[in-house]
Amino acid sequence: MQEIWGWRAEGGFVPARLPGRLTEAVRADPALAGAPFLVLLPPLWDHHGHVAALGALLCQADLRGARSPEEALERLRTSSVDLAPGAWLEGFGWDQNLWEGGFPHRRLLDDAFPDRPVFLRRIDGHAAWVNSAALRAGGIGESTPDPPGGLILREKGVPTGLLVDAAMEPVARRVPPPVRQELRRWLRSGLRSLRAKGLCGATDMGLERAHVETLRLMEAEGELPIPLDGYLDVARTGLDDLPAHRGPGFKVAGAKLYADGALGSRGACLEADYDDAPGERGLLIWEPEALNDAVRRLAALGLPPAIHAIGDRAARIALDALQAAGWPSGSRIEHAQLLPETSIRRMREGGVIASIQPCHYLSDRSWAAERLGARMAAAYPWGSLAQAGLPLLLGTDFPIEEPDPLRNLYALLTREPASERLTLAEALCAYAPPPGSLPRAHLTIAGLQTRPGEGAAAWLEGGVARTFEGSET
Ligand SMILES: [Zn+2]
């Protein structure tokens, strides 16, 4: 017999009943029906992810979790069998932290794919592993200088096929864009898989013009499995004639800017050298003046800026830009991964939202300390952000991580030291839908293997979440 528990923000878990009309839906779902414990939770909304990229994963080579460059190559061979001769081979998700020997080399790709351009984004999206055909297509050779905000890795002066941040752009621009039907399929399958993970809606952090156009059509034709808010990716859309839309199922909610890269590819912009790479401090994607100007223009358009800032220097420069624009309402810092106390204080003064992805910590913790050394004490500072009274939003940055809300909560509730954890009540608040974004009431039901508890998070392991319309518990 299943035990059913309900979450009461003020009183924790209490025995509950399943809303009668959901009994059949729960019975029809093997994961929920087979779980000894069910928990009724408020609706969960993932506040930072990339829907088209999630959907595209189903159509591209999925390199997540590959344990060696050779294993990645094996998957590429499999996924390229149906490709037309000369068509681009795209992949996503490799991570050199999972294998020996560091960043991969173009040679391996050249041997397998001498004529077909290959473009493979790293798991954090901030570096690409490409072959010689792709370098040629992007016009990158020995004499190409590193672009501002980018790095072309070289060996005796010759590009190795590893491009960081802005250096990816010349090649990325040559990858043919998906045709409209394909994009629609990506968006639909991305949204469907979010729904299957127990989310009632999500916020996309990388809308392009074609995404906005396609999502509007899908909304008009009733084809959105869950509602979506989105932030325009200014690197893709530019700042002129930005598309706007506010519908019941989809709206353009703001604009996304990148201040720096990511920690895994040493692109996060730090105040001092990387502990494991003396002389390197990462990359600033915008010069401070240009960032100030962009933020000011977005604020004038009434588009709240969300600034990706992982390194402590990037965060400081992002806060400078927000302050110079008069702290636009709804401003967000994405990732908020390395923040000294002064930056946290400034965020509070400016009413800046901290958008955090606790699941990154589960993936990063084995190597983040090597990159940051003593600075780890100011990294992933979720408890400090909450104690400072900052508004918090939770996301997973899918498809970089699984959009699994239970795994995200697990990371948050098991963080060491315990002072950087949130309470479950705080976490569920930060998972709440943006006001007005959920047209109908929803309810999350989690199927668990052990009895729910608030403190010890083991009850979340192996759990599954589902989303249902209707609010009564
Ligand atoms: Zn992201």
* Distance, CA of 8 to CA of 361 (rounded, Å): 28
- Residues 314, 387: one domain? yes
Task: Give me the sheet containing 464-469, strands edge to edge.
Answer: 12-15, 3-8, 37-41, 442-448, 464-469
Domain with residue 377: its CATH number is: 3.20.20.140
pLDDT for 176 equals 87
Domain with residue 121: its CATH number is: 3.10.310.70
- Residues 156, 241: one domain? no
Which of 68-82, 268-282, 348-362 has the weakest average pLDDT?
Answer: 68-82
pLDDT-based confidence at residue 465 (cuts at 50, 70, 90):
very high
CA of 112 from ligand 1 middle (Å) equals: 31
Residue 460 lies in a domain: no
pLDDT for 127 equals 96
* Distance, CA of 163 to CA of 179 (rounded, Å): 26
pLDDT-based confidence at residue 16 (cuts at 50, 70, 90):
very high
CA of 10 from ligand 1 middle (Å) equals: 33
Domains held by the chain: number? 2
- Residues 284, 151: one domain? no
The upper half-sphere exposure of residue 444, i.e. CA atoms within 13 Å in the direction of its Cβ, equals 27
User: What digits encode the pLDDT tens for the residues 263-285?
Assistant: 988 999 999 999 999 999 999 99
User: 15: which strand partners?
Assistant: 5
pLDDT-based confidence at residue 111 (cuts at 50, 70, 90):
very high
* Distance, CA of 389 to CA of 425 (rounded, Å): 14
Instruction: Taking residues 142-161, report their average pLDDT.
Output: 96
- Residues 140, 241: one domain? no
Residue 382 lies in a domain: yes
CA of 156 from ligand 1 middle (Å) equals: 34
pLDDT for 86 equals 86
Q: Show the DSSP H helices in 351-423 as ranges.
A: 358-372, 382-387, 405-414
Residue 136 lies in a domain: yes
Residue 20 lies in a domain: no
pLDDT for 79 equals 84
CA of 258 from ligand 1 middle (Å) equals: 10
pLDDT for 308 equals 98
Q: Are 112 and 76 in contact (CB under 8 A)?
A: yes
CA of 185 from ligand 1 middle (Å) equals: 21
Strands 464-469 and 442-448: antiparallel
- Residues 136, 192: one domain? no
pLDDT for 471 equals 56
CA of 453 from ligand 1 middle (Å) equals: 30
Instruction: Taking residues 132-154, report their average pLDDT.
Output: 96
- Residues 76, 191: one domain? no
Residue 26 lies in a domain: no
- Residues 239, 262: one domain? yes
Between the alpha carbon of residue 380 and those of residues 89, 197, 310, 355, 405, the distances in Å are 35, 24, 10, 11, 18
DSSP single-letter state for residue 251: E
Neighbours of ion ligand 1 (CB under 5 A): 205, 397
pLDDT at residue 59 greater than cutoff 80: no
Between the alpha carbon of residue 219 and those of residues 37, 224, 232, 249, the distances in Å are 36, 6, 17, 6
To the nearest whole number, what is the mean pLDDT of the chain?
Answer: 94
Instruction: Taking residues 95-108, report their average pLDDT.
Output: 94
CA of 204 from ligand 1 middle (Å) equals: 8
The residue whose two tokens read 């088209």 is 52
Domain finish residue from 172, 189, 208: 172
**pTM of the model as a whole:** 0.86
Q: Which residues make Cβ contacts (< 8 Å) with residue 126, sequence separation at least 6?
A: 164, 165, 261, 262, 264, 265, 267
Sign of CA dihedral 262, 356, 436, 465: positive
Residue 456 lies in a domain: no
The residue whose two tokens read 């999500």 is 202
Query: Three-state SS for 128?
Result: strand
Q: Are 119 and 80 in contact (CB under 8 A)?
A: no
pLDDT for 473 equals 44
pLDDT at residue 472 greater than cutoff 60: no
pLDDT at residue 102 greater than cutoff 80: yes
Instruction: Taking residues 28-51, report their average pLDDT.
Output: 96
Q: Which residue has the higher pLDDT, 1 or 339?
A: 339
Selection from 387, 388, 451, 390 nearest residue 418 by Cα = 387
CA of 414 from ligand 1 middle (Å) equals: 23
CA of 308 from ligand 1 middle (Å) equals: 8
Instruction: Taking residues 434-446, report their average pLDDT.
Output: 91
- Residues 110, 192: one domain? no
Residue 21 lies in a domain: no
- Residues 101, 189: one domain? no
* Distance, CA of 105 to CA of 335 (rounded, Å): 29
pLDDT for 9 equals 79
pLDDT for 221 equals 95
Domain of 233? 46-51+179-445
Which of 43-47, 151-155, 201-205, 437-441 has the weakest average pLDDT?
Answer: 437-441
The residue whose two tokens read 């490709």 is 83
- Residues 141, 187: one domain? no
pLDDT-based confidence at residue 181 (cuts at 50, 70, 90):
confident
- Residues 281, 413: one domain? yes
Residue 191 lies in a domain: yes
- Residues 247, 309: one domain? yes
Q: Are 209 and 243 in contact (CB under 8 A)?
A: yes
Torsion angles phi and psi, residue 89, rounded to 5: -105, 120
CA of 334 from ligand 1 middle (Å) equals: 8
